[in-house]
Structure 1
Amino acid sequence: MHNRVARTLLILSAVLALLTAGPVSTASADTIQTGNRVCSMYVNAIGFGAYCSSGQAYVGGGTPPTWRERLDGRPFVPCRDFEIPKGIRLPKAPDGKEWVLRVTITDYTLDSYNGGPRAHLERAYVPVDAQDRAQCPFPDYMQQFWWRFEGTYPPPALQIMPTYTPRVNVPAFFTLTPDSSMLVKSDTKVYTPDEMTSGMFDDKHNLTMRGMVVQMVIDPGDNTGTLTCKVGVTPLADPDGYDQTQDPDHQINTCKHVYKKSSASQPDGMYTVKLTITWEVSYWIGRDAGEWHPIGQANVTAVQRLPVQEVQAIGG
């Protein structure tokens, strides 16, 4: 049982500064197909997202219309240019050009409601000028075949227990708040008729992506080296993962550090704590909770200034 009243908890997110580790690469999963949607996903040090090709969700009865029927005689343009996802660093583009992410639908058939079983997406970073862009136009009627969502990682909110100002020779326990250690993005929001790209024509298909912190490497700033902590999302009923009814030697949380000296001699009287936070991004398909399939991992770095005080005792 936890003593909630006695807790002195301070979330130190205000003094955290996010730093993008670079150069940053993109990890992507194999193209997936769900309902009338074919999706390609990515993860990097800024966040994660998905680019999908689809027709608008079919909400009527009978057989869903094919791509050819949706086109109504207009040409199908299989490619689309997007902005480069945040976190991707590329060399300077050639003069007169700029970088874009070009996503192309390949191996598709128009006589299918979802592009056919072989349809998949190919991604490429390409420098383009006006002439290059003209090779991949995006007329308004093609909007119905594309869909995208993305999310960025929340700022890390580091909690330090049992007191927000660690004491010399007393273990300081580190955790992240639940809100800053998990992010879920889903296409299950309520769409207007013009936005119906959820692909749930049979009410069973959707795409949900999740980013979860799985590891945190901490450099406490006192020249003692780093400590690596496996991280899981703490339950909402126990957000800081510290049991006030137990002493520091009997805590479930093993992410701790003992400072041997105060921070009085440090710049501004505080240690500079460096964090490397590893996010793992996964996805699942379906209306109900299903099996998470990992896509990849990305690191985010942050720094925090942390005062450490000598243990004070009351004399008499």
Structure 2
Amino acid sequence: MHNRVGRTLLVLSAVLALLTVGPVSTASADTIQTGTSVCSMYVNSVGFGAYCSNGAAYVPNGSNKPPPTWRERLGGKPFIPCRDFDIPNGIRLPKAPDGKKWVMRITITDYKLDTYDGGHDAHLERAYVPVGPVEEAQCPFPNYMEPFWYPFKSNYPPPALVVMPTFTPRVNVPAFFSLTPESSKAGADPNNPGELSGYVNPHHNLTMRGQISEMTVDPGDGSKPFKCLMGVTPEDDPDGYDETQDPFHQMNTCKHVYQRSSATQPDDMYTVKLTLTWEVFYWVGKGAGGWHSIGKANVTAVQRLPVQEAQAIGG
């Protein structure tokens, strides 16, 4: 049984630096067909997101009339299959040629205008290209094309480290490490995936979420880093620490025993380095198979942590 009453403030929210490892490559899933559109997704060390064709949902007017085709939605205007987006955060590219800038160009290919969803062969192709005025003019984005696109993204929250059983670890007493629930997940609630859908079309939702699956802790005292599996404790007890037991009788294995105080360290604190492995998933509403993983990315952070000579627990 976990005693949740009368807990002292244990969250070490003063993370001094959130460091992105570079250069960073994008780990992304293949373009997926949601049933009425196609989406290209990405995940990297800064966040995750998706770019979907077919744009916002068509809302039927209550009749049995089929949704309009792409050609009908265009109203005689030309269909422009490409769109330029900013380079996603975390992507490192060489300096662009003089007079040009890097963009991520997404192109809808193999589409059919006489369908309401572009057809089953429609898919997205992505490329990082340097563009100047001439190249930009090849891929304009007039207002009437806005309904055919829907981009969305999510960044990872700053990590908030929790140390149990005391705010300041004690020498020769196990210190247990975890993260607050709010800082270990991003995006939609896995128990309610439709709540924060990034994209909705007439028959499907595309929702994305990320969670930390592993945390590597370098305790900063010269000992070897150790890995902790994340997301395996109950939601009502995310730190996995049983307050009815002393620190020497815990099931949680995400722990470290400091042999010396931090009195000889700069500012009397150890520098704890965290490597957080984010795994990103997508879910297609009204589809089968539930959540699907599209990739992982590492985020590095540092935390200053004081360690004192052994005293009474809770002191």
Give the TM-score of the pair, scaled to structure 2. Answer: 0.92
Task: Supply the AA of the counterpart residue of 2:47.
Answer: G
1:176 paired to 2:197: no
**Given the superposition, is the C-alpha separation of residues 134 and 154 from structure 1 closer, same or farther in structure 2, using an over 3 Å criterion?**
same
CA–CA separation in structure 2 for the residues paired with 1:117 and 1:106: 11
Give how far 1:234 is off.
Answer: 4.2
In the other structure, the counterpart of 2:215 is 216
In the other structure, the counterpart of 1:294 is 293
1:142 to 142, 145, 150: 145
CA–CA separation in structure 2 for the residues paired with 1:284 and 1:82: 24
**Given the superposition, is the C-alpha separation of residues 55 and 179 from structure 1 closer, same or farther in structure 2, using an over 3 Å criterion?**
closer
Deviation digits for residues 143-169 of structure 1, max 9, x if unmatched?
010001100000001100011100000
In the other structure, the counterpart of 2:17 is 17
In the other structure, the counterpart of 2:125 is 122
In the other structure, the counterpart of 1:194 is none
Deviates more, 1:230-239 or 1:209-218: 230-239
Give how far 1:14 is off.
Answer: 2.1
In the other structure, the counterpart of 2:115 is 112
In the other structure, the counterpart of 2:5 is 5
1:198 paired to 2:200: yes
Determine if contact 2:15/2:301 at 8 Å carries over to the other structure: no
The alignment yields a C-alpha RMSD, in angstroms, of 2.1
Task: Supply the AA of the counterpart residue of 1:138.
Answer: F
**Given the superposition, is the C-alpha separation of residues 245 and 100 from structure 1 closer, same or farther in structure 2, using an over 3 Å criterion?**
same
Give structure 1 stretches of 5+ with no counterpart: 192-196
Q: Per the alignment, in what secondary structure is the counterpart of residue 76 of structure 2?
A: coil
Q: Per the alignment, in what secondary structure is the counterpart of residue 134 of structure 2?
A: helix
Give structure 2 stretches of 5+ with no counterpart: none
Q: How many residues align?
A: 306
CA–CA separation in structure 1 for the residues paired with 2:159 and 2:266: 23
1:103 to 99, 102, 106: 106
**Given the superposition, is the C-alpha separation of residues 312 and 56 from structure 1 closer, same or farther in structure 2, using an over 3 Å criterion?**
closer
1:78 paired to 2:81: yes
Give how far 1:273 is off.
Answer: 0.3
Determine if contact 1:24/1:89 at 8 Å carries over to the other structure: yes
CA–CA separation in structure 1 for the residues paired with 2:147 and 2:118: 13
Task: Supply the AA of the counterpart residue of 1:225.
Answer: K
Structure 1 stretches of 4+ with a deviation exceeding 6 A read none
CA–CA separation in structure 2 for the residues paired with 1:51 and 1:250: 49
Task: Supply the AA of the counterpart residue of 2:173.
Answer: V
Give how far 1:6 is off.
Answer: 4.8
**Given the superposition, is the C-alpha separation of residues 239 and 313 from structure 1 closer, same or farther in structure 2, using an over 3 Å criterion?**
closer
Determine if contact 2:15/2:160 at 8 Å carries over to the other structure: no
Give how far 1:207 is off.
Answer: 0.6
Give the TM-score of the pair, scaled to structure 1. Answer: 0.91
Identity %: 70
In the other structure, the counterpart of 2:37 is 37
In the other structure, the counterpart of 1:257 is 256
In the other structure, the counterpart of 1:311 is 310
Determine if contact 1:7/1:244 at 8 Å carries over to the other structure: no
1:280 paired to 2:279: yes
Task: Supply the AA of the counterpart residue of 2:146.
Answer: Q
**Given the superposition, is the C-alpha separation of residues 141 and 188 from structure 1 closer, same or farther in structure 2, using an over 3 Å criterion?**
farther
Determine if contact 2:214/2:278 at 8 Å carries over to the other structure: yes
In the other structure, the counterpart of 1:27 is 27
Give how far 1:141 is off.
Answer: 0.5
CA–CA separation in structure 1 for the residues paired with 2:286 and 2:133: 42
CA–CA separation in structure 1 for the residues paired with 2:15 and 2:57: 45
**Given the superposition, is the C-alpha separation of residues 102 and 250 from structure 1 closer, same or farther in structure 2, using an over 3 Å criterion?**
same
Deviation digits for residues 282-315 of structure 1, max 9, x if unmatched?
101015996111100000000000000001369x
Q: How does 1:216-255 map to 2 (within 5 A)?
A: 216-232=215-231, 234-255=233-254
CA–CA separation in structure 2 for the residues paired with 1:289 and 1:244: 41
